[in-house]
Amino acid sequence: MNVVALFKIVPDDTLIKVTGSTLDLNVPAKISTYDKSAIEEAIRIKEKHGGKAIGVTAGNTDRKAIREALAMGLDEVIAIDMKEQDIYSTASMIADQLKQLNPDLVIGSEATTDSSGGIFPAYLAGLLGLPLISYVKSITIEGKKIRAERNLISSTEIVESELPLVISVVGEINTPRIPTVKQILESSKKPVKSVNANVKPLVKLASVSPYVIQRKKIIIDGSKMEEAVDKLLSYLRQEGVIS
């Protein structure tokens, strides 16, 4: 069983700050939050069913983040360096690599923390002509058969299909492991294949500006809660948001 985990390296969203009219993205890079769950699930499947777990990333190819993915337990990472990317160009580049790997299962996550479109695995599945199971919160694999529980907002679904296919996982599918020091040291011996992008994006990013809604930040001391609530209610009535 060969499994591919898709992950993206993004600016750490807890460190991004707005300074004046610009968004400061010059912050440390990290593996996008839910993508770690995709990596974790690929490693678990490999541990249970044997075979290989290979990571594929495109965009920023920050070595420290790639080493973290390898230290978690991926056997190899294919790093596609892309300065400019959109979903079309990223999926085209990744699809090229997947055609060579011919995996049984491709795992992505529900959304990344940078563009948060939540559509990449579905796009890739369409491009490859493979079936897709999205928003997966648990899976079991027997032979060529996969059974998955999907988490939609107002319902859950249990579905079945056959490998090969693409799935997107939600964060609650697992708790990503934290590599040990030994694993981190050993990760430097694992192969990283660098690929240069040769597909141009079709959508052009014209600008990114901060999306700031100025909040009033009025602090009310709640040590005497009755007074605090009176104060808050008078503010909220002034605002006209409660009667």
Partner 1 sequence: MNIVAYSEDPEYIKVASSYFSNEKIVAVSTSDTKYADELHLIDKMDEEAIAKYLASLKPDLLITGSTKRDKVIGAYAAGLLKYPILPDVIDISGNKAKRVVYSGMGIAELEFNTPIVVSISKKNVEAKERQTQKKNVNLEEGKVKKIEVKQKGGEGVDLSSAQIIVSVGRGIGSKENIKFADELARAIGGALGGSRPITADLGWLPEDRQIGLSGLKVKPKVYFALGISGQPQHLAGIKDTKIIVAVNTDKNAPIVENADYIVVGDVIKFCQEMVKKVGKK
CA distance 83 to 92: 15
For CA atoms 79, 84, 86, 92, the dihedral sign is negative
Report which of 63, 47, 119 is spatially closest to residue 87, judged by C-alpha positions.
Answer: 119
Residue 128: count of CB within 10 angstroms of its CB: 18
Nearest approach in angstroms of CB 96 to partner 1 is 13
Residue 186 or 230: which CB sits closer to partner 1? 230
Q: CB neighbours of 218 closer than 8 A, spacing ≥ 6? A: 235
Give the DSSP H or E segment for 46. Answer: helix 35-49
The answer to whether 149 touches 158, Cβ cutoff 8 Å, is yes
In angstroms, give the least distance from the CB of 104 to partner 1. 15
- Residue 215 Cβ vs partner 1, minimum distance, rounded to whole Å: 5
Reading the block at residue 108, the tokens are 């992505």
> To the nearest whole angstrom, how small is the minimum distance from the Cβ of residue 110 to partner 1?
6
3-state DSSP call for residue 130?
coil
Which of these, 150, 112, 139, 120, lies nearest to 44 by C-alpha position? 139
Residue 110 DSSP one-character state: S
CB of 63 or CB of 145, closer to partner 1: 145
User: Cβ of residue 204: shortest distance to partner 1, in angstroms?
Assistant: 4
Q: How far apart are the first and last CA of the chain?
A: 61
Q: How far is the CB of 26 from partner 1 (least distance, A)?
A: 13
Which of 47/162 has CB closer to partner 1? 162
Secondary structure in 3-state letters for 131-144: CEEEEEEEEEEECC
Amino acid at 182: K
DSSP secondary structure code for residue 79 in this structure: E
